[in-house]
Amino acid sequence: MPSDNPIGTFFAPEAVALVGARSSPGFGYGIPLILKKRGWEERLFLVNPRVGVLHGMRVYKSVADCPAKVDLAVVIVPAPQVPQVLREIGEKGIRCVIIESAGFAETGEEGRRLQEEAKGILKRYGIRALGPNCVGVVNTDNSFSTSDTLDEAMIPGNTAIIAQSGVFGNILLDKLPSEGIRISKAVTLGNRIDVDETEILTYLNGDPKTEVIMIYLEGAADGRRLVETLKVVSRSKPVLVLKSGRTEQGVAATLSHTGSLAGVDAIYDGAFAQGGGIRARTLAELIAFAKVFATQPLPSGPRLGIVTGSGSMGALATDAAVRAGLVIPPVSEATLREMRGYAPSWMNIRNPLDIGPSGLFEPALAAVARDPTIDMILAIFTIPYAVLLTLKGMGVEVRQRLGELSALRTLAPDKPLVVCVVGHDEFVALVSAEAAGSNIPVLTSPEMAAEALAALWRYRRWRERAIGG
């Protein structure tokens, strides 16, 4: 559906001109193919003066030859040709353009000059632009993508991606589906000649398909505006932020990359906290947080209940949880009484609850789910693989040993629940398969599981202060 908001046009154009279609391998070959495959053939107009037909589609000699209804141009010609192409786009009356070409401010003086020239042309014609040096957008809702994404990345979901770097966007699009995270929209910003992260954030805030936003930044285009925008967006949707350039040399590393100037890290830390943004310290943490935020309710308090098959993993998770601001309260008297009824005498009924080799995961998790002194739950599954094989030999399936994971989610719908599974690869795969589709995030690090739950609580608290609930 076309949109009045120019940002909307990037994600849902009426018709697209792709300038730089080509018959040899590369973006100009792959993107037309993927768009055709996804039903865009009628709304896609390829442009290249030297190619007549590509993938059975006509290739127009120039932008001017395209039909009038085109409202988005995707430009993938070499950088020196970009200014001329932008003029043709402007003359044609197209008002949105995604410049994927690299070779601008990120490469040095000559590139900076070229980017300035392009900027002038955009301004003259009133064209809104994404890029350059990016891979554009993904919209799973209408199967639109301006890069060669895999089908599994196009399965619609509730999580949006904003990445300053094109490759970073690609990495997430490649990686998230296997982590069980489904995408609503993705956008890579590149050198931000025009559109920046704040405009996208505001757009995604109004996007009914998006419930969680992940953002990778090397530096803010405008720090103050970013904080103000975060403050608004975070009131309704969690924004998970990974920012590089935490050290001076990390800053230097990004300079030639997307041509941005990363700021002092501590200022960013304060700014994100003020704006309600949830800062991840590493790529792995960003992904773990997304898995938990995309599926779990916000907790009503900081009290974590841990049920574990190994005291050691319970202790590691406890350390991480307490350091991150959570509380590990004793279990309630009622839970204590209930569990004493069936727990073996060696089992110490406490929090974290180490069920040892008893196999009592299911009743223990149910008891913790019902316990009013517990606000959120971490289940740590650790079964030695040899034991699992023995159980399998006896006809006992993993779900009988761990309980029905999907049932767990319904036991306490208001309490966030994270499963952590540690051990043999096949055990991890078994539990993940068992949890698939159940809206239960499965992580493999007890510490990161605890930190993700703590991040949920921090966000809940920020929101309470911001909007009173």
Residues in contact with 429: Cβ distance below 8 Å, sequence separation at least 6, in sequence order: none
**Minimum distance from CB of 247 to its own copies (Å)?**
4
N-term to C-term CA, the chain: 34
Report how many residues bind its own copies under the rule CB under 8 A: 81
Do residues 286 and 239 touch, judged by C-beta distance below 8 A? no
- Token pair belonging to 45: 């107009």
Residues in contact with 218: Cβ distance below 8 Å, sequence separation at least 6, in sequence order: 164, 165, 243, 244, 245, 254, 257, 258, 260, 262
Burial of 330 (0-12, 13-18, 19+ CB in 10 A): exposed
**What would the x/- binding string for its own copies be over residues 37 to 76, using CB under 8 A?**
----------------------------------------
Selected binder of its own copies within 7, 59, 398, 422 (CB under 8 A): 422
The answer to whether residue 431 forms part of the interface with its own copies (CB under 8 A) is no
The answer to whether residue 171 forms part of the interface with its own copies (CB under 8 A) is yes
The torsion defined by the Cα of 358, 361, 364 and 367, in degrees rounded to 10, comes to: -160
Give the H or E element holding residue 385: helix 385-393
Which of 55-93 are b and which e, b meaning 16 or more Cβ less than 10 Å from the residue's Cβ? bebebbeebeebeeebbbbbbbbebeebbebbebbbebe
Selected binder of its own copies within 146, 234, 254, 296 (CB under 8 A): 254
The answer to whether residue 156 forms part of the interface with its own copies (CB under 8 A) is no
Instruction: List the beta strands (DSSP E) in 323-382.
Output: 353-354, 376-381
Q: With contacts defined by CB under 8 A, name the span among 88-96, 223-231, 276-284, 293-301 that binds its own copies.
A: 276-284
Distance separating alpha carbons of residues 162 and 183, to the nearest angstrom: 11
**What would the x/- binding string for its own copies be over residues 447 to 466, using CB under 8 A?**
xx------------------
Q: What is the DSSP string of 181-214?
A: PPEEEEEE-TT-SS--HHHHHHHHHT-TT-SEEE
The answer to whether residue 132 forms part of the interface with its own copies (CB under 8 A) is no
**Minimum distance from CB of 177 to its own copies (Å)?**
9
The answer to whether residue 258 forms part of the interface with its own copies (CB under 8 A) is yes
Distance separating alpha carbons of residues 231 and 16, to the nearest angstrom: 34
Q: With contacts defined by CB under 8 A, name the span among 10-18, 207-215, 303-311, 459-467 that binds its own copies.
A: 303-311
**What would the x/- binding string for its own copies be over residues 2 to 41, using CB under 8 A?**
-----------------------x----x-----------
| DSSP secondary structure letter of residue 327 | B
**Minimum distance from CB of 2 to its own copies (Å)?**
28
The answer to whether residue 318 forms part of the interface with its own copies (CB under 8 A) is yes
Selected binder of its own copies within 81, 247, 400, 410 (CB under 8 A): 247
Selected binder of its own copies within 22, 119, 257, 415 (CB under 8 A): 257
The answer to whether residue 446 forms part of the interface with its own copies (CB under 8 A) is yes
Selected binder of its own copies within 194, 196, 207, 354 (CB under 8 A): 354
Q: Which of residues 197-226 bind its own copies (CB under 8 A)?
A: 216, 218
Q: Assign residue 437 a region: left if phi > 0, alpha if psi is -120 to 50, beta otherwise?
A: left
Q: Which of residues 99-118 bind its own copies (CB under 8 A)?
A: 102-103, 106-108, 111
**Minimum distance from CB of 305 to its own copies (Å)?**
12
Residues in contact with 187: Cβ distance below 8 Å, sequence separation at least 6, in sequence order: 10, 11, 130, 136, 137, 138, 161, 162, 163, 169, 200
The answer to whether residue 168 forms part of the interface with its own copies (CB under 8 A) is yes
Amino acid in the structure at residue 468? G
The answer to whether residue 425 forms part of the interface with its own copies (CB under 8 A) is yes
Selected binder of its own copies within 345, 372, 465, 469 (CB under 8 A): 345
Distance separating alpha carbons of residues 170 and 234, to the nearest angstrom: 25
**Minimum distance from CB of 251 to its own copies (Å)?**
8
The answer to whether residue 246 forms part of the interface with its own copies (CB under 8 A) is yes
